[in-house]
Structure 1
Amino acid sequence: MKSEEILAKLQNDVRAAFKSWHEPASETSPLGYLHLFRHARQLGTATARQATHQLLLQALDTLALHHPDDADLLRLHFLDRREMYTVARLFNVGEATVYRRQQKAIERLAHILHAREVHVAGEARLRLEERLEPPGSTRLIGIEADLNILLERLTSTSPPWLISVEGLGGIGKTALADSLARQLLETGHFYDIAWVSARQQDFHPVLGLQLTGLPALDLDTLVSRLLEQLSPDISLPTSRQAKLAALTRLLKEM
């Protein structure tokens, strides 16, 4: 999506978020796709509504630094529920003028959110890249077709939800998965990615398959590693059942 399209969508979503300010609490938000929104919820904001309000209030404070009238206009109309003809009288302008000013104010606020989103998304991408294994020096050849198929299926909104890449040891399954994960990070399609390796052999171009010396991956270790990556700020439960319950709850919230 081009930058102009992203900003146009964000402006519409900001307007929708303001319009829903006084509506009953909901578990969804017009801004729910933003890294900023997810970050706010991870920091302890309890509901989608509170996270949305937090983002808008922070953006309004920033807007007020350089365009105080714009911030006041948005607060009066959306937060204080003043009718536009009342807002127009307060600013001593015509109603048509105040509508134009409101549109400009929303545009400026959307630019503020977009700048913050780019920053937070960039930090998130670096953090997720650190979870992957160090990139190898070998250039992958002939995987484009398989890679495109996997990208299409993983970014689809319809089943299957679980995809397995299978084959003999040393044919490049891990390299394919790594390349896939890095391309998904580029697109920003997924908010979070976890990487857990179960292999007990590594392929070396000269030596062939070599044992890693690592124990087999069991369910408890798999769940623990997923929780450590997807929710690093919480203490791990001690029992396997509690870990599974925590992981299930976490995945449903994403």
Structure 2
Amino acid sequence: MKKSIPPAQLKKEIHQALKHFHTVQDPPDNMLSNLVLVQEAEKSEAQSSKRYCVNVVLEKGLKQLGIYQSEGMQILRKRFLDRKSFAEVNDELGFASIDRVKHKQSNAFSELAQIIWDLEFAARNALITAQKSKLEAKGYTQLFGIDKLHDDLFQLLTAEGSPWVATLVGIGGIGKTSLANFTVRRVIEQLHYHDVVWLKISEVDRGGRPYPTPQTFDKLIAQLCQKMLPALSSQTLQQERLFHLQQLLKSQRFLIIIDDLELKEDTAYLISELVTLANPSRFLLTSRTKPAPHAGSQSISLPELTETNSLALIRHYAHEIGFEEAAKANDEALLPIYKLVGGNPFCLKHLVNLAMHRPLKSLLDSLSKRPLISGNGMYQHILKETWLGLSNDAKTVLAVMTLATEDGMDAEQIAKLSDLPDARLWPAINELIGRSLLEIRSSTLWDRTYGIHRLTELFLRSLMNGGSNDEHNDL
């Protein structure tokens, strides 16, 4: 979709579209056919031509014009819909001269352009809001150190050609999901895609064992069909699902985000399959492992935050949670946090949260007793310290969240599985959100779903297995 058309240009396009009101062929791009209004009309007017849908928009505009400028509406209808000359319109409406009709027609075009522009503006905003609602809820208020990466990813996602599959690569907790969410929201503002789909896909079973790679792909296709082709039966064979999905992705431009891939073999296999489904649609993956080069694919690696950006994040997050001592602390006081865990946002935030409840020196001394190797071992160690400071109700809710699907779990489901009454459930949920352990996956005025970060889930499964995974560092 193109950017919003200014009223002056829209006036010219309306004039051309009215002149061709009775033409059979579909209109070119400069006759309103790129308007969101027209595309919305195509959805509601099944099997109708684009010409018919442009005319529907013109009729709607003329109807509104007639409410407060009846003469202008009549002139445009007689001139273009009834195909009458200026002289005929002048005689029928009793104006003083043909020049007077021409003057009123010009004014009517300006008024009609403003009406259709206002309708288009409202339609675009509604579509942007609808597309953003399909993304995971924002888990951030400000991002640090991502300006160049954000611009690179934005350019890649709005390019007219290859690569058709983009992969954000980085260790767990580095901010891949946040960068993807932030950038896709900017892409949506451009209405570059017909629609967006956000998916999380489990690569392991409840016992933590990896699914076979083809099965992961089958699960992905099933989820996509459920969201994009809801009329397709769940009993449809995989090859038929692929055929219908490919037809849709090749006929319209979709952006599909597949978040939080872990396994190297899955990422490589998915890219090889997704490239065949893409163009003009595009896929954005987030992965902890860098895929091998593949035609039609490109990866962007996320490094750790620099010292400056890490300290800025610490102060910003400390201020958000009301930890003003840390928010106002100088660099010398905060540097030990960065030196201990580096520039990993997930670890930095959890250490700040811990420091709000425990003296920083004793906390860092405790964490320094065991080397914090990169990977799962580091997260396990930090999250264990966080776990010890939680209320029993918060621990109960967190344990329940390991049963959540990729789309998350609502409060009613959490209450049922945790057996906690509202008076204890909501304080526990708020405690976990405040400690950055519970994420809001989707949010509306009436409902919310919750989920946990994959690193948190790994830690909880480690606890359930007696801590046997504490030393793994393969993530």
TM-score (norm. length: structure 2): 0.45
Equivalent in the alignment of 1:135:
138
* 2:16 paired with 1:9: no
1:6-50 CA deviation, whole Å, 9 max, x = no partner?
A: 111221221121122122232755222222111111113421011
Alignment match of 2:176 (pick from 167, 173, 177)? 173
The aligned counterpart of 1:66 is 68
Give 1:241 shift.
4.0
**Relative to structure 1, is the Cα distance of residues 19 and 225 closer, same or farther in structure 2, using a 3 angstrom cutoff?**
farther
Q: Name which one, 1 or 2, has greater alpha-carbon Rg.
A: 2
Please state if 1:83 is matched with 2:85.
yes
Structure 1 SS opposite 2:169: coil
How many percent of aligned residue pairs carry the same amino acid?
Answer: 25
Q: Which amino acid aligns with 1:36?
A: L
Match of 2:102 among 90, 99, 111: 99
Superposed displacement of residue 131, structure 1: 0.9
Unaligned residue ranges in structure 2 (runs of 5+): 254-475
In the comparison of the two structures, how many residue pairs are matched?
A: 241
Q: Secondary structure at the match of 2:23?
A: coil
Q: Which residue of 2 aligns with 1:243?
A: 241
The alpha-carbon deviation at position 213 of structure 1 amounts to: 9.3
SS in 2 for 1:31: helix
**Aligned counterpart, 1:208:** none
SS of 2:167's equivalent? coil
CA shift, 1:150, in A, is 2.4
Unaligned runs of 5+ in 1: 202-210
AA at the equivalent of 2:19: K
**Does the alignment pair 1:195 with 2:198?**
yes
- Could you tell me which amino acid in structure 2 is paired with residue 168 of structure 1? G
Partners in 2 of 1:250 and 1:114 — Cα distance? 30
- 2: CA distance between counterparts of 1:66 and 1:173? 52
* Structure 2: distance between partners of 1:230 and 1:74: 41
Deviation string for 1:44-84 (max 9, x for gaps)? 34210111111111111111111111111111111111122
Given the superposition, is the C-alpha separation of residues 239 and 113 from structure 1 closer, same or farther in structure 2, using an over 3 Å criterion?
farther
**Cα drift, residue 105 of structure 1:** 1.0
**Hey, what does 1:186 align to over in structure 2?**
189
CA distance, structure 2, for counterparts of residue 246 and residue 17 of structure 1: 34
Q: Which shows bigger deviation, 94-103 or 221-230? A: 221-230
Structure 1 consecutive aligned stretches of length 4 or more whose deviation exceeds 3 Å: 187-191, 198-201, 211-231, 239-251
Residue correspondence of structure 1 range 13-162 to structure 2 within 5 A: 13-26=13-26, 28=28, 30-45=31-46, 46-91=48-93, 92-137=95-140, 139-156=142-159, 158-160=160-162, 162=164
- Please say if residues 220 and 240 of structure 1, whose CA atoms lie closer than 8 Å, have aligned partners that are also in contact: yes
Alpha-carbon distance in 2 for matches of 1:223, 1:99: 58
1:35·1:191 contact (CA, 8 Å) conserved in 2? no
Q: Tell me the distance in 2 between the aligned counterparts of 1:19 and 1:154.
A: 37
TM-score by length of 1: 0.79
1:140 partner SS? coil
1:167-211 deviation per Cα after TM superposition (whole angstroms, max 9, x unaligned): 23323332222111111223334342222234659xxxxxxxxx9
Secondary structure, counterpart of 1:57 in structure 2: helix
